[in-house]
Amino acid sequence: MHKIFVIAGATASGKTAVALSLAEKIGGEIISADSMQVYRGMDIGTAKPTPDELAKIPHHLVSVINPDEQFSAAEFQSRAAAAIAGIRARGRVPIIAGGTGFYINALVYGAEFSDDPRESRLREEFSRFASENGAEALHEKLRAADPNYAATIHPNNVKRVARALAYCLATGKLFSAHNAAQKQKPPIFDAVFFKLALPREILYERINIRTKAMFDGGLADETRSLLAAGYDKTLASMQGIGYKEAVQYLAGEISVGDAIASVAQATRNYAKRQETWLRNQSPQAREVFGGSPEEIAEKILTP
């Protein structure tokens, strides 16, 4: 198996900058493992690489679908595997960078996805239930069915909540147990796994600063443009952290200060769940602490 690099970590931990620096050093191309960066037109709220960064290093799975299109871990797995093959064919090195751990594991371990039509129907039913009753109500159903898995997913991530709940009901088994079994499989890629680690107080301060910068940089205007383009606020993409709160601000339901505070809090909660997931699901990851992106990239390359 040929080696691929995986750079994971909580949101705002600096994955993009480190991946860029590493790619420059080793002749790499970056595959984004981020469930929100796949959407076109959702740039500010998903902290996508800048146009200059995208021009400097080839990126894959960034801005590949519209906000009203479906995207799954199975789709990520297929597209990322194809991207890896293309990168290798060009004599370059694949670098997976992102915070959606489920996507990373699906790729590295070749997770198997059900094609049971009953699960598909249940997923659609649960998505409609969330639209009519709210994402939190659907998440409560998952907490009742599989509390361990529910603890790892934000209620706003309706797609993953619906998928897990559909699996539980269709099979009578826990989705958390299914995930654990998947991870017992040998990897299909030789992945060198790194996890960016920051003291929590520093990570939270970076989240606070970035959240304010997103609103100062036009997140509300970006959200307004998405709504004007016909993307409904109930879409899974529009329920993502940042966009949901921006919609509330634009509707006059909350102030911009409240929106910023709410996004920062939701993001801090999400970061905590990401850290828990990485600690539990990817114990083989090597933690990398501190320094500039260039210094961290050098640490990654040091045995």
Strand, coil or helix: 190: strand
- In sequence order, the 6+-apart residues with CB closer than 8 A to the CB of 296 are 14, 18, 21, 196, 288, 290
Is a pLDDT exceeding 60 seen at residue 3?
yes
Mean of per-residue pLDDT scores for the chain: 92
pLDDT recorded at residue 19: 97
Q: Render pLDDT for 71-87 as a digit per residue (tens, 0 to 9).
A: 988 899 999 999 999 99
pLDDT at 283: 59
At residue 214, the pLDDT reads 98
Alpha-carbon distance of 145 to 169, in angstroms, equals 8
Q: Concatenated DSSP letters for 227-263?
A: HHTT--TTSTGGGSTTHHHHHHHHTTSS-HHHHHHHH
Q: How confident is the model at residue 240 (pLDDT cuts 50, 70, 90)?
A: very high
First and final CA of the chain: distance in angstroms? Answer: 19
The pLDDT value recorded for residue 87 is 97
Q: How confident is the model at residue 268 (pLDDT cuts 50, 70, 90)?
A: very high
Q: How far apart are CA 88 and CA 5, in angstroms?
A: 13
**CA-closest candidate to residue 231, choices 66, 117, 85:** 66
> At 34, is the pLDDT very low, low, confident or very high (cuts 50, 70, 90)?
very high
* Three-state secondary-structure class, residue 92: coil
Give pLDDT, residue 131.
Answer: 85
- Residue environment code for 215-253, b if the CB has 16+ CB neighbours within 10 A, otherwise e: beeebbebbeebbeeebebbbbbbbbbbbbbbbbbbeee
Q: How far apart are CA 65 and CA 71, in angstroms?
A: 8
CB-based burial, 132-165: b 16+ in 10 Å, e otherwise = eeebeebbebbbebbeebbebbbbbbbbbbbbbb
Which pLDDT score is estimated for 101?
86
CA–CA separation, 257 vs 262, rounded Å? 9
Q: Answer for the pair 46, 71: CB distance below 8 angstroms, yes or no.
A: no
Please tell me the number of Cα atoms within 13 Å of 110 on its side-chain side: 6
277 confidence band (pLDDT: 50, 70, 90): confident
Portion of the chain with pLDDT greater than 90, in percent: 70
Residue 183: what pLDDT? Answer: 67
pLDDT of residue 279: 79
- Please give the angle made by the CA atoms of 140, 146 and 151, to the nearest 5 degrees: 70
The pLDDT score that the predictor gives to residue 281 is: 62
Does residue 236 contact residue 127 with C-beta atoms inside 8 Å? yes
pTM for the full predicted model:
0.83
Q: Say what percent of the chain tops pLDDT 70.
A: 98
pLDDT for 282 equals: 63
- The encoded tokens of residue 153 equal 């997913």
pLDDT at 159: 83
In 46-116, alpha helices (H): 51-56, 73-89, 101-108
d(CA 18, CA 7): 8
210-214, 219-223, 274-278, 296-300 — which is least confidently predicted?
Answer: 274-278
Contact between 242 and 45 under an 8 Å Cβ cutoff? The reply is: yes
- 152-177 pLDDT per residue, tens: 888 888 888 998 999 999 899 999 88
86-139 pLDDT, tens per residue? 999 999 999 999 998 889 988 988 887 777 788 888 988 998 898 889 889 999
Largest Cα separation within the chain, whole Å, is 54
